[in-house]
Chains A and B, each alone.
Chain A
Amino acid sequence: MNRLITILGLVCGCVAALAALLFNPLGSVVINAGMGADIYDWSALEFHGVEFDEMTLLGLPLRASGQAFTAAGIESANASIIVLRGPDGEAAALATRLVALDETGNLLRGDLGVNTYTNIYWPNRGSLLLYGYENRWPVIRDNVMGALGQSSESSWLVSALRRDGELSGAVGGSGVLEGIGGRYSETLHPNPAGDGTFAGRISLELSFR
């Protein structure tokens, strides 16, 4: 009887701790851009490298999406060319994005993510260079819950404070966007093509400095 209680206690303790980790209320805070932001839906025209889903972020070689680069120096990075569409569904801008695993993640804080570098070009207007951090813990949590048969979210707000303590935002620009500052936030959702990559929505809240 004592052995059964011991096993039951251990299992319940583990489950409770896992639940506390997954739904950690003290975890990294995600940031949402304010009202009045310019909103674009984006999807990849080209994608190279590994996608940072729950398997990749946890270092599990199972079902990782995308084809990781074989060179050791870039196996935890990806590069893509993406098109941004405005509210009317028309292509509004072209962008490139480089993404690398952030190595300062912490499971206890519910903080596993990637650093993103994005260069957006609006035809005939200007370009914008963005640096941000995405905490993909919400993706992990919902996919774990989904695997357990629970309903999960269809999109995830992932923008969080960068490692330098700043909001994800613009670090440079050209043309009419020269001298622009400001921040942005992003939500991700599975690519409708079903290839395991993400598409998303970016909300840009820019301001002249």
Chain B
Amino acid sequence: MANHSATHPKHVQHHFVDSNQQFESAKLGMWVFLVNEILFFGGLFCAYIVFRAWYPELFTQAALELNTFWGAVNTVVLIGSSLTVAMAIRSAQNNQKRGLEINLLITIFLACVFLVIKYFEYEHKLHLGIAPGSFWNPTEEIAAVLDHPKANIFFGIYYMMTGVHGLHVIVGIGLMVWLYLRARKGHFNSEYYTPVEITGLYWHLVDLIWIFLFPLLYLIE
């Protein structure tokens, strides 16, 4: 086939002219997808803005029920995981297989720590009857503090935002496990680390979204 160069590296797919075109395309594709993700979460942020504009006292009251300390810990955990995924990319660029594997593992570990903390946060709330939608059934103690008639709406938004974000974290973990397994098999080197790069981009966005979620939900007063 014409233009089927004899020096066609294995990792370059057939419709690309060379490795660079493939890499640039993958990055652009992922950036475009991230813009789409921003719009997706944007809808939820918009709902937040609208309801907060209408019921500001609700938001400041309800936010007190959220555990700021653990929210902050989660923020540090995610920022740390963004650092380690960037280090993983650096390792791949420098042909450091071991470094790549270790950094991916740490990122996965930190992401799991995030989920575990989230789990305990949710569990604690559900225990108190602070549940989304039709399961809203606060204990007397809570109902005394959270006496705003629209309190269920705040937590509906809270659960949707953190829930959708959490789903994205789970997907990210899945991707990074896949990357780790491929790294183990030696698929990545300085010539080809595209999947690591674009998964890293995705992970940075997941982190960025939390960085907006945290102050808007936990730090308002």
- Please say whether chains A and B are actual partners in one complex: no
Residues in B lying within 8 Å of A, measured CB to CB: none
Residues in A lying within 8 Å of B, measured CB to CB: none
